[in-house]
């Protein structure tokens, strides 16, 4: 598929393409609900967008420390966090490192997290 000049000059289109094609798994949460994941996140955990969007992020954490860090960060509106976690993959536990930063979307605070 060939990009047109309009698509190349459209920042929303460019961001969506970068987000979806990133090799690192990325998710966005608002009030702990998963609102956006990329293809790499689907591949890592085995869940499809339809299966995970709208679910509580904490439903996918298998140890409590990352969950506590996440909730504390939200409460303080902390700008960023970096921690290790064990997440619930569709086919078993997945160990990850999470780099999470505060985002502000539609009047609400959320988190954008990149997983390694």
CATH of the domain at 105: 3.30.450.20
Which residues have a Cβ under 8 Å from the Cβ of 58 and sit 6 or more positions away? 32, 67, 70, 71
* Residue 1 clears pLDDT 70, i.e. is over it: no
Taking a C-beta distance cutoff of 8 angstroms, is the pair 7, 18 a contact?
no
Q: Give the domain extent around 30.
A: 5-115
pLDDT digits (tens, 9 = 90+) for 12-65: 999 999 999 999 999 999 988 999 999 999 999 999 999 999 999 989 988 767
Rounded to whole angstroms, the Cα distance separating 27 from 45 reads 12
Which residues have a Cβ under 8 Å from the Cβ of 36 and sit 6 or more positions away? 19, 27, 28, 53
pLDDT at residue 55 in the model: 97
Q: Which two tokens stand for residue 41?
A: 């996140």
Rounded to whole angstroms, the Cα distance separating 14 from 104 reads 20
pLDDT at residue 58 in the model: 86
63 or 102: which leads in pLDDT: 102
Total domains in the fold of the chain: 1
pTM of the entire predicted model: 0.82
Question: What is Dmax (Cα atoms) for the chain?
Answer: 47
pLDDT at residue 8 in the model: 76
pLDDT at residue 80 in the model: 64
């Amino acid at each position: 598929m060939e990009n047109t000049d309009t698509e190349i000059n459209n920042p929303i289109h460019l961001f969506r393409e970068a987000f979806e094609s990133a090799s690192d798994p990325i998710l966005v949460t608002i009030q702990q609900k998963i609102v956006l994941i990329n293809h790499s996140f689907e591949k890592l955990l085995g869940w499809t967008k339809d299966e995970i969007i709208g679910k509580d992020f904490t439903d996918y954490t298998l140890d409590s420390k990352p969950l506590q860090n996440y909730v504390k960060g939200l409460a303080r509106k902390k700008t960023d966090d970096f921690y290790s976690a064990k997440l619930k993959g569709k086919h078993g536990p997945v160990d990850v490192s999470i780099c999470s930063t505060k985002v502000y979307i539609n009047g609400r605070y959320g988190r954008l997290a990149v997983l390694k």
